[in-house]
Amino acid sequence: MKLANRVRLTALLLTILIDSAISTGTANAQAMRTPTLDRVREYGAIFVGHREASSPFSYFNGDEAIGYSVDLCHKIVDAVRVHLNDPSIKEVMVPVSSNGRITALVSGMIDLECGSTTNTSGRKQSIDFSVTTYITGVKAMVRVDSGINQWSDLDGKVMITTAGTISERTAKTALAKEKVTMRTITGRSHTDSFDQVVKKTADAYINDDILISTQIANSPFGDQLKLLSQNFAFEPYAIGLRRDDPEFKKLVDDTLIGLMKSGEIKEIYKKWFLSPIPPYDTSLNVPMSPLLEEAIANPSDIGIN
């Protein structure tokens, strides 16, 4: 069995065990009682949650987890080692799904969630977030031959969103104001959602524009697909961590703000958005938006409702 498959299987089994423990309140209480840095010191390891297919933020390239958010979390792990004066602390990468990422943090399965997760007030009831690391627009992807060119053309169509994301709520809120109604189905993953439009079992795939743009760029069907120009909303991405852990949150935020002040985060951005990236050595050619430049100049952990 390949390493990536072994890691996925281990993570799945851990999720099952933890979910069972959560039902009795045991794992949740333990995770919330022990500060993260104390846990890291005790176990000699920090557990970093990453996504399997959220390029360019967090995804598998062979057996390795890579991406913009993963690189930022590597920097945080380095800061933890310095803070605890222990360079031997291991960084354990754990794959998590859209549906399971919040549970993985709350339960203690992971200590950081490094993917493409939007900072929302609803999620803040369960976890905390770092300062904003990226800002994305939410858009609809359709087939070029669908005849769909604007929001009004979506009326009566089938919309697919990925399980565990907030895209459905975001899109429905915006479309309701335009008196546009769509039927919604749910994909198991971003790849599944994308494929449903390719196969014409869904008319529109709603997700963050950068994630869809990456999928289109890496797909052999890319020339058959397009993004509608209108944004349903703008959403701030951030690194997820457990609530009520001020010492760890300060370390995470200080590390990211340090990257922002030094300009290093712009180099990391250039690596993932303006240069060829694995697995196809394709450049997304997405310049840093004015919204993200502002977020870097004035760091904040303010999310959206």
Q: Is the bond preceding residue 279 a cis peptide, omega within 30 degrees?
A: yes
Q: Are strands 240-242 and 233-237 parallel, antiparallel or unpaired?
A: unpaired
Residue partners of 185: CB distance under 8 A and separation at least 6: 158, 159, 160, 196, 202
Q: pLDDT tens-digit profile of 258-302?
A: 999 999 999 999 999 999 999 999 999 999 999 999 999 999 999
3-state secondary structure (DSSP) of residue 191: helix
Q: Is the pLDDT of residue 15 over 80?
A: no
Do 226 and 259 fall within a single domain? no
Summary mean pLDDT of the chain: 91
Domain final residue, candidates 192, 217, 234? 234
150: tokens are 């604007």
Q: Which domain holds residue 255?
A: 3-133+238-297
**Do 122 and 37 sit in the same domain of this protein?**
yes
Residue 6 has pLDDT above 50, yes or no: no
Same domain, 83 and 199: no
21 and 120 together in one domain: yes
Residues 150 and 263 both lie in one domain: no
**Domain shared by 88 and 119, yes or no:** yes
Per the domain annotation, does 302 fall within a domain?
no
Domain match, 52 and 129 both: yes
Which of 234, 257, 276 is at the close of a domain?
A: 234
Whether 10 and 121 map to the same domain: the answer is yes
Q: What is the CATH number of the domain that holds 150?
A: 3.40.190.10
Q: Is 36 inside a domain boundary? A: yes
Task: Write down the pTM of the prediction.
Answer: 0.85
Average pLDDT over residues 234-259: 98
pLDDT at 33: 76
Burial 264-303 (b: 16+ CB within 10 A, else e): ebbebbeebbeeebeeeeeebebebeeebeebbeebebeb
From 234, 263, 285, give the residue that closes a domain: 234
Q: How many whole angstroms separate alpha carbon 54 and alpha carbon 142?
A: 19
185 and 266 share one domain:
no
* Per-residue pLDDT reduced to its tens digit, 50-98: 999 999 999 999 999 999 999 999 999 999 999 999 999 999 999 999 9
Of the candidate ranges 14-23, 26-35, 153-162, 221-230, the one whose mean pLDDT is the lowest: 14-23
Task: Specify the number of domains making up the chain.
Answer: 2
Nearest to residue 103, comparing CAs of 14, 34, 42, 10?
Answer: 14
